[in-house]
Amino acid sequence: MKNFLNKRVDLAYIVISLFVTLIVVLIYCKASDAQEVKKVQNLTFVWDANTEKDLDGYRLYRSDTSGGYQFGKTFALATIGAGTETVVIDNVKPGYFVLTAFDKHGNESGPSEEAESLSPVDPSGLSITVIIEVNS
């Protein structure tokens, strides 16, 4: 009987060890996936197109600090022409982003609501893709 109990205890120990090992492996895989997610981010802007007849396009601005933007076409990260439906901009640094609309006379709207890309603890090798979609 003692030998049988020892075998049962050994079997229970093996099952518990395998279960703990499986949990550790799953946690490690989840952590590895999370680190990979931090290396590539998509930041998507979607809005309804401006309906003014003299609309010329949109400008995307980026800043390292919230609200710290300089406006005007020389400071824009990207300029999107009127009628453009989707624009993808790769390899953008993390930060804060806003959009403006501008017309054919050079007038520019106030900024959109601010969007922030999340900065990982280790930003080395991070690539942000900005996706801009305009609903016609």
Per-residue model confidence as pLDDT tens for the chain (136 residues): 545 444 443 433 333 333 333 333 333 334 444 444 445 567 777 777 778 889 999 999 999 999 999 999 899 988 888 877 778 887 788 889 999 999 999 999 999 889 887 665 555 655 566 676 767 6
C-alpha 43/C-alpha 94 separation (Å) is 10
pTM (two decimals): 0.61
The neighbour count for residue 99, using CB atoms within 10 Å, is 21
C-alpha 126/C-alpha 117 separation (Å) is 11
- Provide CATH code, domain 40-135: 2.60.40
Can you name the residues that pair with 93 across neighbouring β-strands?
Answer: none
User: What's the pLDDT score for residue 74?
Assistant: 93
User: What's the pLDDT score for residue 25?
Assistant: 31
What the block records as the tokens of 133 is: 């979609």
Q: Which residues contact 69 (CB under 8 A, 6 or more apart)?
A: 61, 63, 75, 96, 98, 111
Greatest distance between any 2 Cα atoms in the chain: 95
Asked if 76 and 105 count as a contact pair (C-beta separation under 8 A), the reply is no
C-alpha 19/C-alpha 15 separation (Å) is 6
User: What's the pLDDT score for residue 105?
Assistant: 94
